[in-house]
Amino acid sequence: MEEQKQAKQRILSGIQPTGVFTLGNYMGAIVNWEQMQEDYDCAYFIADLHSLTVRQEPAELRKHTIEAFALLLACGIDPEKSLVFVQSHVHTHAEMGWVLCCSALMGELGRMTQFKDKSAKHADNINAGLFTYPVLMAGDILLYQADYVPVGQDQRQHLEFTRDLAERFNHFYGNVFKIPDGYYPKAGAKVMSLQDPTSKMSKSDPNPNSFISILDDRPVILNKFKRAVTDSEAEIVYREGKDGINNLITIYSVMTGKSIPEVEKEFEGQGYGTFKMAVGESVADRLQPIRDEFNRLVGEKKYLEELMAVGADRAYRISRRTLEKAKKKVGLLLP
Ligand code: TRP
C-alpha cells in the first residue's frame, strides 16, 4: 500500500542584516532554525527592507546582507532543505505590504512598543517605514501561509498584530491568509551580556567584552569569558540572583547538550576561573567550524549570488499565489 505523505507544516522567519550575529542570536534563534529544518518546510530570509527603517550606510548594508546570507549557510541552514533568500529580491513582499497597509489601523501601529522605543532612540528619523514596519513583516509571514513563526519576545507583539490583520482581511474580503502561530524558543536560550548579566547580549553594546560575535576567534572568546562578570560567591549552581553564573551555565548547557543539573554536577567544588574557561572552550569549539565555513563562503561570491537567485525565484513562485489571491479579493484587476 502506498504511504500517505503528509505535507509538512511551514516555518518562516527573518533576520535583519545589521552586522555579524552574536552568540545570543545564534543560540536564541539560528540553532532552532537549523533543527527545525528536519521536521518542517522552512523558509528563512534576510530582512533587508526592514533594515532601511533605520539609517544605513549603503555600502555597509550591501556587505552585511551578503555576509548575513553566508552566515546562515555557515550555521547549517541548508538551501537544499530550506528556502533561503533575501527579502528585497522578491518584490511580492513590498507589494503585499502596500495592500495590507490599507487594512492596518494607525491606532494599532501606534501602540507597537518597538515603534515607540525606536522613535525615542532615533528621534531625528521617525520615518513612515518605522511606523509601517509591522505591516511589512505581516506580509512576509502571510505570503507564505506560514504555520509557525519562530521569533524572540521582542517580536511577539508584531506577530499578534499579524494575526489580527490577517483575521480582519479574511473577514472583509474572504479567506486568503492562514493565521500563523508564534514559536517561542525555550526560555533557557536567552543569552545575557557577559559584562552586565541582567541585560540581553547585544551587538550594539559599546563594550565589545559584553558580547561574543560568532566570528570571534578562540583567543578572543576565551579572553571575553575570562573577564565575564560573575558574583562574590563560589558556587556553580543555577539560582535566582546569580545572573552571571546562570548565564554561563545556560551557554555551556546549550553548547554541550548537557542539562543544567548535569552541568552543576560536573563543576561541583570547582572554581569560577576553571568554569569560565570550560564555557569559553565549549563556545570556541562550537563556533570554529562556523567561522571556517563563513570564511570559505565569503570568498565564493558568485556561488552565493547563484544561491540567492535560486532562493528568490522559488520564493517568488510560492508567494505570488497568495499575493494574486489577495489582489483579486480586494478588487484589483490582474493583468
Ligand atoms: N522584525 C524581525 C526582527 O527584527 C525580522 C523579521 C522581518 C521577521 N520579517 C519577519 C521575523 C517575518 C519573522 C517573520 O527580528
Question: How high is the mean pLDDT in each 10-residue block of the chain (335 residues)?
Answer: 70 92 90 93 98 96 96 97 98 98 98 95 95 98 97 92 98 98 74 94 90 96 97 95 96 93 96 97 97 96 98 98 98 96
Ligand 1 mean position, distance from CA 274 (Å): 38
Query: What does the pLDDT read at residue 5?
Result: 61
The alpha carbon of 282 is separated from its chain's Cα centroid by a whole number of angstroms, namely 22
* The model's pTM: 0.92
**Nearest CA residue ID for atom 6, ligand 1:** 14
Query: What does the pLDDT read at residue 28?
Result: 85
Query: What does the pLDDT read at residue 204?
Result: 82
What sign does the dihedral 186-188-191-193 (CA atoms) show? positive
Query: CA 31 to CA 116: how far, in whole Å?
Result: 30
Domains of the chain from N-terminus onward? 10-187+300-330 (3.40.50.620), 208-294 (1.10.240.10)
Q: Quick check: 10 and 41 in contact, CB under 8 A?
A: yes
**Nearest CA residue ID for atom 13, ligand 1:** 13
What sign does the dihedral 281-152-206-250 (CA atoms) show? negative
Q: Does residue 74's CB lie within 6 angstroms of at least one atom of ligand 1?
A: no
Q: Does residue 118's CB lie within 6 angstroms of at least one atom of ligand 1?
A: no
Query: What does the pLDDT read at residue 189?
Result: 67
Of residues 28, 27, 89, 3, the one with CA closest to residue 314: 89
Query: What does the pLDDT read at residue 20?
Result: 84
Q: Does residue 130's CB lie within 6 angstroms of at least one atom of ligand 1?
A: no
Query: What does the pLDDT read at residue 2?
Result: 45
Of residues 331, 299, 290, 245, the one with CA closest to residue 31: 290
Asked if 5 is an active-site residue, the reply is no
